[in-house]
Amino acid sequence: MSAKAWIIDGYVDEPACLGVPPYISPYIRTVAGVFLDKEIPVTYHTIDEIKKNPGLLIEAGTVDYIVIIAGMTVPGKYLGGTPATWQEIEQLGSALNGPHTFLGGPVLFGAGKSGGKTAVKKENFHVDTHLIGSPAGALSRWFSGNTPSATFDYHIEDPWSVKGASIITQHPCYPHVMCEIETARGCSREVTGGCAFCTEPFYGKPQYREQKGIVAEVAALSSSGAIHFRIGRQPDILAWQAGSGEFPKPKPDLIEKLFSAIRIAAPSLKTLHIDNVNPGTIARHQELAYEGLLAIVRHHTPGDVAAFGLETADPAVIEANNLKATPDMVFEAIRIVNEAGNIRNDGIPELLPGLNFIAGLAGETSRTYELNREFLEKILQSEYLIRRVNIRQLMPFEGTKAFSLNELPVNEKSFHTFKEWTRKQFDLPMLRKVFPEQTILKSVVIEEEGEISFGRQMGSYPILVGIPMSIPKGSVIDTVVISHGMRSLTALPYPVLINTLPHKALKWIPGLSKKGIVKILANRPFQTIPAFEKATGLTFPPGFIDLTVP
């Protein structure tokens, strides 16, 4: 009887890799490729599927091999899934007595419940084998009778990424699954130790993946039905193939060729976004970075975000933690990204910066939060747009400088005051600029159904959209922005089906009074737009109102 394998996705979130639904990480696909290369059928399940249906463990107990991939080194809040805790991994390991169990991913660096607490490096997860380094490479070595430890090597792993691409069809979000694509691993600033808190230097000096390997994987994913891609598994997309040095010079011609080739390899793609961009790279090589950003904008899809690791606007904290850029440099990078990407396409900006702050870094004082606020106020006073601000507390890992040098626990009053100010005084007015009322958001995927249904577009850091009516989970709809929250939008399905819109949703129509709602309910169905306008006294742009009656 032939062997069988399972992959259980406990999800990963690293500085340069995301694998929480709707994302699927490269680790999953290369591990699947190892099994398929050995002609071992492989089944994929997420940790959330296991928790919702514990009976799956009975089926899992009948297979020969189970690989668990997990690990958060930059914990966040997630709508699409809940990453596996180390306790849940232990429970899985203990429950699965029949198969040979493996564990791989950043969980082996350490595990923590949340920011603000030190990650604990565990030696025993009650699994049979730890896959050290590259999970796929280590698994392959184990099958060959060698020590299950391997460094990442694209020449070895690229064929696995192609062979394992079909695993995405088993993802519960399929076809609305975001494929995280790897272009590089390791940090160029590893030569100086890197940022004090970051785990990316654990992977060593940068290894840049060749274009042919990237494009072959994208083509294989596209053949398996993938239409959403994020070129996100790297610390700085502008440094791809840029050579050595702490801040290598971007090569915009190579970036142009890469993104153009991806478009050709996946002609049906709906999303092509990026993630991390080092603001220090942009500030130090402004013209080359600008050209590289323009190359991305020419080939990506709108709504993209270049995530900046600002971390802090306090010069003392920057120096103490060997951070990548000063506030002035980050502001310059914000300007340059806005010049390249603040162009509206389908109603939304092409490419905007995002900002990350970390609380609890060495050298932090109450003054740090004042400087952070002043930096955000400077942005508000400019014409530049920011897509989102992420504020989290440090979770230090053994092996980083921040493990022993930090300011944990944070000053709770200073931290929460800054966070609340940012949400109310920065995020809200910025969202109104980025997504003005009556902005059309296309292809919103509904993730939660209820009296208020919640959905997001596919992409990097998509805005949460609340729709005040029940819409089936998995539906894909166009919406129109009606109002703004601090980190979310309220929208209605677009065009607005005025003759069938539920009573509770009618009140969200801009400018519609209670009296107007009564008139709509009394006069529906409207046969013409002028009849609707006469009844309500409202006028909307062409296409806003739809009189269709099922």
Choose which CATH entry (3.40.430.10, 2.40.110.10, 1.10.3720.10, 2.40.50.140) describes domain 435-494.
Answer: 2.40.50.140
- Calculate the CA dihedral of residues 334, 338, 341, 345 and round it to 10 degrees: 130
Distance, in Å, from the CA atom of 70 to the CA atom of 104, rounded to the nearest integer, reads 7
Each residue's pLDDT expressed in tens, for the chain with a length of 550 residues: 589 999 999 999 998 999 999 999 999 999 999 999 999 999 999 999 999 999 999 999 999 999 999 999 887 888 889 999 989 999 999 999 999 999 999 999 987 777 888 888 888 899 999 999 999 999 999 999 999 999 999 999 999 999 999 999 999 999 999 999 999 998 888 888 889 999 888 888 889 999 999 999 999 999 999 999 999 999 999 999 998 888 999 999 999 999 999 999 999 999 999 999 999 999 999 999 999 999 999 999 999 999 999 999 999 999 999 999 999 999 999 999 999 999 999 889 999 999 999 999 999 999 999 999 999 999 999 999 999 999 999 999 889 999 999 999 999 999 999 999 999 999 999 999 999 999 999 999 999 999 999 999 999 999 999 999 999 999 999 999 999 999 999 999 999 999 999 999 999 999 999 999 999 999 999 999 999 999 999 999 999 999 998 7
Name residue 178's amino acid: M
Give the β-pairing of 351-359 and 304-311. parallel
**CB-count exposure of residue 30 (10 Å: 0-12, 13-18, 19+):** buried
Region at 300 (left for phi over 0; alpha for psi -120 to 50; beta for the rest) = beta
Distance, in Å, from the CA atom of 32 to the CA atom of 43, rounded to the nearest integer, reads 9
DSSP character for 276?
Answer: B
pTM of the entire structure?
A: 0.95
What is the residue extent of each domain of the chain? 1-174, 435-494, 497-550
Distance, in Å, from the CA atom of 19 to the CA atom of 244, rounded to the nearest integer, reads 28
CB 130 within 8 A of CB 103: yes
Three-class secondary structure assignment of 8-50 = EEEEEEECCEECCCCEECHHHHHHHHHHHHCCCCEEEEEHHHH
Name residue 251's amino acid: K
Give the tokens for residue 410.
């944070």
The reported pLDDT for the residue numbered 546 is 95
What DSSP element (H or E) covers 521?
Answer: helix 514-523
Distance, in Å, from the CA atom of 60 to the CA atom of 5, rounded to the nearest integer, reads 9
The domain defined by 1-174 folds into Rossmann fold (3.40.50)
C-alpha 297 chain-centroid distance: 19
E strands in 282-343: 304-311
- 1-174 and 435-494, same CATH topology: no
DSSP annotation string for 100-116:
EEEEESGGGG-B-SSTT
Residue appearing with tokens 């792993």: 157
Distance, in Å, from the CA atom of 273 to the CA atom of 296, rounded to the nearest integer, reads 9
Residues with Cβ within 8 Å of residue 527, at least 6 apart in sequence: 547
Name residue 118's amino acid: T
The reported pLDDT for the residue numbered 113 is 72
Predicted confidence (pLDDT) per residue in 307-321, tens digit? 999 999 999 999 999
Give the tokens for residue 259.
């993104």
Predicted confidence (pLDDT) per residue in 345-379, tens digit? 988 999 999 999 999 999 999 999 999 999 999 99
Distance, in Å, from the CA atom of 50 to the CA atom of 48, rounded to the nearest integer, reads 5
The reported pLDDT for the residue numbered 1 is 54
Give the tokens for residue 246.
């702490």
CB 197 within 8 A of CB 321: yes
